[in-house]
Amino acid sequence: MDPNSPPKVEIRNVHQHVDQEVVIEGWLYNLRESGKILFPIFRDGTGLIQGVVVKSAVAPEVFANGRELTQESSLRVTGKVRAEPRAPGGFELGVTALEVVQLVPADHAYPITPKDHGVEFLMDHRHLWLRSTRQRAILGVRHEIIKACRDFFDDRGFTLVDTPILTPSACEGTTTLFEVDYFDEKAYLTQSGQLYNEAAAMAVGKTYCFGPTFRAEKSKTRRHLTEFWMIEPEVAYAGLDDIMPLAEELVAFVVRRVLDHRRAEIETLGRDIAKLEACTAPFPRLTYDEAVEILIEKGSEITWGGDFGGTDETLLSEKFDRPVIVHRYPSQVKAFYMAPDTARPEVALCVDVLAPEGYGEIIGGGERLADYDLLLSRIEEAKLPREAFEWYLDLRRYGTVPHAGFGMGIERVVAWICGLEHVRETIPFPRMLNRLTP
Ligand code: 4AD
Ligand code: MG
């Protein structure tokens, strides 16, 4: 590269280059023409900046090329950064040169225009839709949430231990398993890393895994994906009373981090920030019994022993201005590995955290069955194939201890923090009952 050529700069950093000439590599976001001046808006993935091309001030081909620019054409633009309080972002670029990398043909224009498109159209063009300002804001918040979760556990002495995606058995019930051919055997895409986390916790004490998990959910709701990401901590020598505060601290930490680091994105999304600011610990705690009473008062059809539906979760969350913790559900609605409450064996030592404003369950977890005989009988009752669980039973044969953990679904948290109507926008390429492409 010519040492005298202007530096390449990201749009987010243009404030460091006022009155200097810079090069920006990006795409055309929009173009407005006003007589002998063009106002192209450029984007580069880090921000937007308005360019100004004055016909009388540039070479004739620069102005001619600028006029022909189409939405999403890729380009390298050279220009001088100027402070301009009236421009969006506070800066503008006095364009001196334009190198078009690819001109999107005018007769084959970029399919997503500023007009309104239907959701299915946008989902079919998800690979392009991601370029929009709104989707970019969501991607940024998602990134921050994931990083915050990792920092939270890393800073508290947890060891990341990766768990497998191809597994020989179910973790969360056999009705939502994706089966795959594994040479001459059947394998399943993991529903949760938990069982392996329990092995890891016995090795390192405090562990977490973070990865994609799969549920063959036939439900078409705004909260369900078939592929979603889950962060799952597991702690040896811990019980329900240890992981409830852990879950609470994690959620409060993540919200705080997003408010501190991603305010611009949250504002872009039009999120009500005061509602997020309210989400500080401690969170209200209810037993399942208390939650059922509240629900009946609010007109739900629920009876003791049933699981909460999405509407029940929404009704409950409406009562509080921050996430609510519900513990001790009936064992019959929970997975086989849940430890019963010895004081009341019909309920499990489990916990769900429900997000406010009707965003539903974001965390599920609890204390695990540590007793060999009890665990074996639960595996048999659940009609799970014992052979596939022999290794899991080993954890109870060799130095079993009380232990507990939970899983937090990243997409539900993104939906809540960003204030999105549906989880389909929370993950770059959503997988749902009716969607496997792009
Ligand atoms: O409550 P779940 O099923 O719990 C478990 O899988 C435990 N084994 C986790 C553990 O204890 N290590 O799922 C945990 C969370 C839910 O609270 C929800 O946030 C999310 O995962 N989740 C989903 N998110 C999107 N789409 C789906 N189909 C989801 N199913 C669960
Ligand atoms: Mg759950």
Residues 186 and 84 in one domain: no
Strand partners, 40: 31
Q: Are 148 and 253 in contact (CB under 8 A)?
A: yes
Residues 397 and 346 in one domain: yes
Residues 272 and 226 in one domain: yes
Residues 245 and 383 in one domain: yes
For all residues of the chain together, what is the average pLDDT? 96
Residues 177 and 318 in one domain: yes
Q: Are 254 and 231 in contact (CB under 8 A)?
A: no
Give the structural domain span for 91: 11-108
Q: Is residue 120 part of a domain?
A: no
pLDDT of residue 217: 87
Ligand 1 geometric centre to CA of 378 (Å): 20
Name residues with Cβ closer than 5 Å to ligand 2, which is an ion: 364
Q: Is residue 164 part of a domain?
A: yes
Task: For residue 210, give the H/E element and its range.
Answer: strand 206-214
pLDDT of residue 2: 72
Domain boundary among 74, 108, 142: 108
- Ligand minimally distant from the alpha carbon of residue 230: 1
What sign does the CA torsion over 370, 373, 376, 382 have? negative
pLDDT of residue 170: 85
Q: Is residue 438 part of a domain?
A: no
**How far are the Cα atoms of 183, 242, 243, 248 from residue 363, in angstroms, in the given order?**
35, 15, 11, 10
Inter-residue long-range contacts of 297-301, CB under 8 Å, 24+ positions, other chains counted? none
pLDDT of residue 1: 60
Amino acid found at 380: E
How many structural domains compose the chain? 2
Residues 132 and 250 in one domain: yes
Q: Is residue 121 part of a domain?
A: no
CA atoms within 13 A on the CB side of 60: 0
Residues 100 and 214 in one domain: no
Q: Is the peptide bond prior to 233 cis by the omega test (within 30 degrees of 0)?
A: no
Residues 401 and 315 in one domain: yes
**How far are the Cα atoms of 110, 116, 264, 314, 423 from residue 119, in angstroms, in the given order?**
17, 9, 25, 24, 13
Distance, in Å, from the CA atom of 75 to the CA atom of 69, rounded to the nearest integer, reads: 9
The DSSP code for 385 is -
Q: Is residue 299 part of a domain?
A: yes
Q: Which tens digit of pLDDT belongs to each residue from 187-235? A: 999 999 999 999 999 999 999 999 999 999 888 899 999 999 999 999 9
Q: Is residue 377 part of a domain?
A: yes
Cβ atoms < 10 Å from Cβ of 95: 23
Residues 242 and 350 in one domain: yes
Residues of the chain where predicted confidence (pLDDT) is lower than 70: 1
- Residues ≥6 apart with Cβ < 8 Å to 60: none
- Residues ≥6 apart with Cβ < 8 Å to 172: 191, 192, 215, 335
From first CA to last CA, the distance across the chain in angstroms is 37
Ligand 1 shell residues, CB under 6 Å = 171-172, 192, 194, 215, 217, 224-225, 228, 230, 232, 361-365, 405-407, 409, 411-412
Q: Which residue has the tokens 């986390």?
A: 197
CATH number at residue 37: 2.40.50.140
Residues 235 and 336 in one domain: yes
pLDDT of residue 115: 84
The minimum-distance atom of ligand 1 relative to the CA of 366 is 11
Residues 183 and 241 in one domain: yes
- Residues ≥6 apart with Cβ < 8 Å to 421: 222
Q: Is residue 436 part of a domain?
A: no
CA atoms within 13 A on the CB side of 353: 31
Pocket test for ligand 1, best of 149, 217, 230 (most atoms within 8 A of CB): 230
Pocket test for ligand 1, best of 176, 326, 392, 412 (most atoms within 8 A of CB): 412
